[in-house]
Chain A
Amino acid sequence: MRNPLYYFQSVRFIVVGCLLLSGLVNADDSNNQTIRLATTTSTDNSGLLADLLPAFTASTGYPVHVIAVGTGKALRMGRDGDVDVVLVHARAAEDKFVAEGYGEKRYGVMYNDFVLVGPASDPAGITSEQDATTVLKKLAEHQAIFISRGDDSGTHKKELGLWKEAGIEPEGRWYREAGQGMGKVLQIASELDAYTLTDRGTWLAYKSKSPLKIGFEGDPLLFNPYGIIAVSPKRYPDINNQGANALIKWMISHDGQQRIGGFRIGNNQLFTPAADAGAFAAFSTTQ
């Protein structure tokens, strides 16, 4: 039988160990400077944010925590006050978010576009077509396998809007909802020789790993604008609204816009800066 002190010491060891370790965890827990940005996989997976945010942090001192999910979920996080600012692409949902009082104001930041990719053999024969609705009609006619994001993301919302535009109710064995991010869906489409709708940024980042080719592009219907919205401090007074506004201001500033335009994968520009200079001027005076 050991000396009682032995047990005491081991208890003390465990308690002190716990405290030390929890100190480690808390040491880098978010402080009140940190900005939480909920955004879409397209801005994060493409590497754009990894390029922009260090420059933002260097010039303003605010660290940014990026949570990359689909647009639907990002807006939901904003609505619940779990993040300070959202950068998303689904215009109708963004306007609703602001109208319902969850967000302060939507600022246009940039745009890219969607492209329809599919197998190189193009079984549905869409490459010769001129407009997006005809392309979708052809896909449905040929029952060509189509992978839908099926995750309420901006891309998914866009895709559903396009089917509606074409007057088609997509259903049947050829129409498959993956419920996953863009990268995963491109992988699934590659493996199944299927068509899918993707934002150009993710496609450029991914295409060297995929046998798929662009089947259709260029229709104005495929335009993909990104907006940034600070979550309303009226609803959540202790949110990092100052940080959120600093990020918005930087994004639509000359510096931020130039960086967005300068971001490239290979030789391709992924996003076109599209902030309204007037909006920036107005923003500067209100802040």
Chain B
Amino acid sequence: MSDLLKVPTMEEFMAQGKQPEILFWVGSAGSFDDRAKKITRAFVKILNKANVDFAVLGTEESNTGDIAKRAGNEFLFQMQAVTNIEVLNAYDIKKIVTCDPHSFNCLKNEYPGLGGVYEVIHHTQYINELIASGRLKVEGDLYKGKKITFHDPCYLGRANNEYEAPRDVLKQTNAQLVEMKRHKRTALCCGAGGAQMFKEPEKGDKDVNVLRTEDALETRPDIIATGCPYCNTMMTDGVKAKEKEAEVKVLDIAELIANTLNL
């Protein structure tokens, strides 16, 4: 099916003297992590379906530096930022969409101070826009009657106060949305933020992702929906740790929509 994916690069747009509607920032996880790549592909299918004129940077994209910044390496962060900004500004990018709330937050809030000013939106917000403007019609009963609980990513929710867009999109699947005890601004972190994804946790009596998975399992869901590639990995591991992988799936909102549309 991969041959059906249309993924033009900025370089190609440039060669034709055209400008895309939007730049899709794939991010490091979305480019390299096997699980996250599926989310990337699902989102591209949606973009293709809605006939969105988008482009990616491809091999010209580099890590935002977000993780380095949160690990305390401001120097590396700014090196990455300045390099990326040079590329983005050279292509005269105005609008960016990304599936990674960490890239979203970093590009939206931390790049402007270094000369990179763009309108940045999260893919759940963008899908919501596509639906609202009628460019994307979500019809299909694949998830009808299924119970879905949404895990708020910290960097979309608390960090940037976006709680509704992902829920609005989920409603389109006709599934039954159930909230965890801790949700929206009181949502518990999956445990990956602040560079924790790349190190062993400190000594404690439990892993954060297991605790968060317990929150989710309390709602007896069929599906745990995520909006972040790191959350997805953490919750998938949590479900495995709880030996529930046969009953409970962990899927990104982009995947849920792509599946509903049978893409």
Are A and B part of the same complex? no
Chain B contacts to A: CB under 8 angstroms: none
Chain A contacts to B: CB under 8 angstroms: none
